[in-house]
Amino acid sequence: MQQNNGIDKKQMISFAVLCLVLFGFMFYFQNKQAKEEQLKAEQQKTEQVKNPVKQTQASNINPNVTPGSIQTASLSNKELNVEFSSLGGQVSKVQLSEYKAYDHKTDQADLPLYLINKNNSNYGFQFKDKTGKVVNTKDLVFAPAVNGNVVTLTADYNGAVIQFIYTLLPKYTLDFKVRTQGLSKITSDNKADFIWDYSVRNLEKGRAQEQSHSEFSYAFNNYKDYDYDGRTTMEEEKETLNWIGVKQQFFTSVIEAKNGFTQSKGNQESIEEGEYLKKLNYEGFVQMTGSELNQDFTWYFMPLDLKLLKSYDKNFDEILPLGWSFIGWMNRGFFMPMYNLIADWGLTAGWVIFLMTIIVKLILSPIMYKQHKLSAMMKVIRPEIDEVNAKLKDADPMKKQQATMEVYRKAGVNQMAGCLPALVQIPIFYALFRFFPNFIDLRGQGFWFAKDLTAYDDLIKLPFKVPFLGDHLSIFALACTIVILIYTVMTSGNMQQPQQEGMPNMKVLMYIFPITFLFFLNTSASGLSWYYFVSNAINILIILVIKYVILDEKKIHAQIQANKEKPKTEGKFQKRMREMMEKAQDQQKAQEQQRNKKK
């Protein structure tokens, strides 16, 4: 029996050296990247002098209207710059002036951030005139007039006057009123079809991640209920939608109808490469009164900031995908407030995540202690388990399993207790999986060589694409994979090998897991990889401290011997397991007897 002689110096030194190597590796690439960026900036300045930017002409989006005949009008405040086109009376450009978009050419977030630009959004109201001809306002030419923070666009269609009145308000809000006069002389319809086609612009570094977060969002039942659709055809023909929006990773475009949209449906398709991520098409009806279209709407072009979204009191906060039920509660009520509290101390985002990890580990430390105590107990009784397996080497596998469980029961070892830490950490893992790529306060926050903790770091470029990995290697993901592998090696020592042929070797599976984790983390938010690197490094330290300082194997052995002397009461779970095994054994015997009779 090994005696507790304090911390194993060799293991502590090895772990310290590993950490120094990993941190040195990170700092080396950070300095290398800084030099490359400086050289790239100088080259870019030279190219700008040689090749000044040329003005591009608007494309002819309507064969009946020349580019020169299209007029525009603009409104601006500190949050939004909005442009309107006389063709269709639509919002033709929306810039969020306080944010920047990622530029793939410079690898920097230095571009103006446009939610709408270059005709990626197209909407209008469609109805039939009395001859059966389909009329859509997006095809009409409006005359714009600006008065303060109001733009009025007026069109004439066969004597009917159609007005779109836009008023720019604070809090990323654009009021939108539709007024008609004389439309009842042209149409007999009692409802108009609102059609909105929207192509999601690529604004972030991680294309696949941003694409997966782009989807329809909508509220109904007087703003009380919320739903979304990111992959399938949208159909809400029975509900009246209060608002419909297209959500991106950190921003959203939403239109609210004061009297609601009915018979809503939509579809979407992914775009594999280029400037856009997804194409979404929406269609819903709005009511007409006396064949006149007089309805009030509101556009919102918003960042997905939880505090801002809640302030509208329209269920917009559900757009932020922080997870359902308990997962969402953890993010809203625990991780976000914790991050904001630590960030108020003036620390950079990476060190805020570092301290968050330590706090979470301190909270989970009692559970980890129980897990490692169980591991130590299993190590102590390993000779008895091996002895049972040797005695029953040729016996029925079911009988061997029953004998093994009996050893555990007498020693007072509950194998199921080892599942508790894993079960507790699953919701935490999923909450953080939702937290890091969607928390806008982390957007654009760099740490070491990661320029944005909500996207992957790609300092190591690959000359080709690897399936499921991409064309880069994330250093944070690599470092995280290494410490997970070390942690796996340290914790798999007490794992039993399969006793039956054809059963998987759990040790091998555990070693494969960290490698598969690399494929998952390589294109995920680097903040998530950094968190799990720190988390698993702390796990390793905790194991060493618990194993060599806190736990004493002699005391554990004495406790097990004392447990054997005590009368045992069979727990409900143990009883159920025993009964199931006995039943299975009886069925196996019955099958063997039937086979013997047939012979």
Question: Residue 194: pLDDT band by 50, 70, 90 thresholds?
Answer: very high
185 versus 405: the higher-pLDDT residue is: 185
Whether 66 maps to a domain, the answer reads no
Q: Are residues 424 and 372 in the same domain?
A: yes
Q: Are residues 353 and 262 in the same domain?
A: no
Whether 465 maps to a domain, the answer reads yes
pLDDT at 383: 65
pLDDT at 425: 73
Whether 307 maps to a domain, the answer reads yes
- Tell me whether strands 460-466 and 80-85 are parallel, antiparallel or unpaired: unpaired
How many distinct helices (H) and strands (E) make up the chain?
A: 14, 20
d(CA 331, CA 311): 18
Of 549, 532, 554, nearest to 360 by C-alpha is 532
d(CA 485, CA 46): 46
pLDDT by residue (tens digit) across 357-374?
888 888 877 777 776 666
Q: Are residues 24 and 155 in the same domain?
A: no
CB 242 within 8 A of CB 260: yes
CB 79 within 8 A of CB 171: yes
Taking residue 57's Cβ as centre, other Cβ atoms within 10 Å add up to: 8
Q: Are residues 441 and 546 in the same domain?
A: yes
Residue found by looking up tokens 């066969």 in the block: 158
Least confident of 285-294, 324-333, 353-362: 324-333
Domain end, chosen from 262, 296, 320, is at: 320
Domain end, chosen from 302, 320, 338, is at: 320
d(CA 320, CA 157): 41
pLDDT at 80: 94
Write 361-368 long-range contacts (CB < 8 A, 24+): 361/535, 361/538, 361/539, 361/542, 364/421, 364/424, 364/425, 365/542, 367/420, 367/421, 367/424, 368/421, 368/539, 368/542, 368/546
Q: Are residues 244 and 302 in the same domain?
A: yes
Whether 595 maps to a domain, the answer reads no
d(CA 21, CA 177): 63
Q: Are residues 379 and 271 in the same domain?
A: no
Of 343, 519, 337, 538, nearest to 435 by C-alpha is 337
Q: What is the value of pTM for the model shown?
A: 0.73
Of 236, 300, 210, nearest to 227 by C-alpha is 236
pLDDT at 149: 93
Q: Are residues 477 and 459 in the same domain?
A: yes
CB 244 within 8 A of CB 216: yes
Q: Are residues 453 and 511 in the same domain?
A: yes
d(CA 250, CA 440): 6
d(CA 74, CA 86): 11
Range of the domain at 558: 9-31+329-564
Question: Residue 538: pLDDT band by 50, 70, 90 thresholds?
Answer: confident
Is the pLDDT assigned to residue 298 strictly greater than 50? yes
Q: Are residues 354 and 299 in the same domain?
A: no
Domain end, chosen from 301, 320, 339, is at: 320
Whether 594 maps to a domain, the answer reads no
Number of domains comprising the chain: 2
Whether 277 maps to a domain, the answer reads yes
Phi-psi map region of 239: left, alpha, beta (phi>0 left; psi -120 to 50 alpha): beta
Q: Are residues 246 and 290 in the same domain?
A: yes
Whether 250 maps to a domain, the answer reads yes
Taking residue 293's Cβ as centre, other Cβ atoms within 10 Å add up to: 22
Look up the CATH number of the domain holding residue 302: 2.70.98.90
- Contact partners, residue 365, CB within 8 Å, separation at least 6: 542
Q: Are residues 85 and 139 in the same domain?
A: yes
Q: Are residues 143 and 214 in the same domain?
A: yes
pLDDT by residue (tens digit) across 466-507?
776 777 788 888 888 888 888 777 766 544 444 444 444 555
- Contact partners, residue 404, CB within 8 Å, separation at least 6: 385, 388, 389
Whether 57 maps to a domain, the answer reads no
Whole-number mean pLDDT of the chain?
77
Q: What is the 3-state secondary structure (H, E, C) of 410-479?
A: HHCCCHHHHHHHHHHHHHHHHHHHHHHHHCHHHCCCCECCECCCCCCCCCEEEEEEECCCEEEECHHHHH
> What is the SS3 assignment for 26?
helix
